[in-house]
A and B are shown apart, each in its own frame.
Chain A
Amino acid sequence: MVPLSYYLVLSAVLFACGVAGFLIKRNIITIFMSIELMLNAVNLSFVAFAAQWKLLDGQVFVFFVMVVAAAESAVGLAIIIAVFRTRQTLNVDRVNLLKL
C-alpha cells in the first residue's frame, strides 16, 4: 500500500525535471521532449488521485491529455520541420527573428 504522497512527490520531481530541461536545453526537439515529460508527470498525478478517491474521471482526463498530447506533438514536429527548412538549424538561440 503505497501512500498517495509518494506518487505526488514522484510526479513533482518528474515535472521539475521537465521544467529544467525546458529551460536549459538548446535543441528544439529536446525542449519538446521536456514538454512531453511534464505532461506525463501531470498524468501520474491524475491517476494517483483517481486511485485515491476511487473515481474514474481522473483516468478519463488522462485519456484526453494523451489525445491532446498526440495532436500537439504532430503539429509541433511539423512546425520544427518547417523551422528547420527555413533556418537550417535546431538551436533555439538562432531562431530569434520572426521573419527572415
Chain B
Amino acid sequence: MVHYLLFFIFAALAVAGAINLLAQKHPIASALSLIVVMGSLAGEYMLLGAEFVAVIQVIVYAGAIMVLFVFVIMLLNAGVEERSGRGSRVAVIFGFPAMLALGILLAWALIERNPANAPVGVGAMYGPARSIAQQLFRPYLLPFEITSVLILIAIMGAVVLARRED
C-alpha cells in the first residue's frame, strides 16, 4: 500500500513536471521542472530496487547535466521564448484527438492485455552497486571501455565547437 502511494506521488510529480516543462515560456523554468522530473524518477528507481541507478540519476542527470543546461541558459542570456507564426489547424483538429486516442489505447493495451502483468518486486533492493559493477566489469567490459573513448571524443568536440574563432 505504501509502495502504491509512493509510486503515485512520484508519478504525479514526474508528469506534472513534464507538463510544466511544456507549459513554461522561460527556459530556466523548463529546466527547473525537468529537475523535478528527474528527481521523482530517482524515487521511482528507488522503489524498483535500483539504488545505484537512482543515485547516479541524481548525481549525473539532476546534478551535472542540468547544471550544464542552466549554465548555458545563463551564458546565452536566454529570455522568454518568442512565438513565430500560428500553428497548423490540421494539427489542432486531428493531431491532439489522435494523440489522446493513441495514448488511451496504449495505456489500455499495457494494463489490460499484458501477459506479463506480474507485480514488480518493489523494495527488493537487488541492484546494489556491487552487482552492477560485477556486470559492468565482466560481460560489459568492452562497451564500458568504449564509452571512455566516447567521452574523450565528446570533451574534445565540445571544446572545439565552443571555442571562439579568432
Contacts and interface: CB of A to CB of B under 8 A. Distances in A.
Given A20-B22, A29-B73, A33-B30, A48 B48 contact: yes
Nearest to B30: A30
B140 A60 contact: yes
Interface string B28-50: 00110010011001001101111
Q: Is chain B's interface secondary structure helix, strand, loop, or mixed overall?
A: helix
A47 B117 CA distance: 16
Contacts of B44: 7, 10, 44, 47
B116 interface: yes
Interface in A38-54: 40, 43-44, 47-48, 50-52, 54
Contacts, number: 227
A37 B7 contact: no
Interface size class of B (residues with CB under 8 A): 35 or more
B56 interface: yes
Given A51-B50, A75-B154, A66 B15 contact: no
A48 to B, nearest CB: 6
B34 A63 contact: no
22 contacts: A1-B120, A8-B114, A10-B11, A12-B107, A17-B18, A24-B22, A26-B83, A29-B30, A29-B31, A29-B78, A32-B69, A36-B65, A37-B34, A44-B44, A50-B127, A52-B120, A60-B132, A60-B140, A64-B140, A73-B69, A74-B68, A77-B68
Interface of B: 3-4, 7, 11, 14-15, 18-19, 21-22, 27, 30-31, 34, 37-38, 41, 44-45, 47-50, 52-53, 56-57, 60-61, 64-65, 68-69, 72-73, 75-76, 78, 81-85, 87, 99, 103, 106-107, 110-111, 114, 116-122, 124, 126-127, 131-132, 135-136, 140, 143, 147, 150-151, 153-155, 157-162, 164
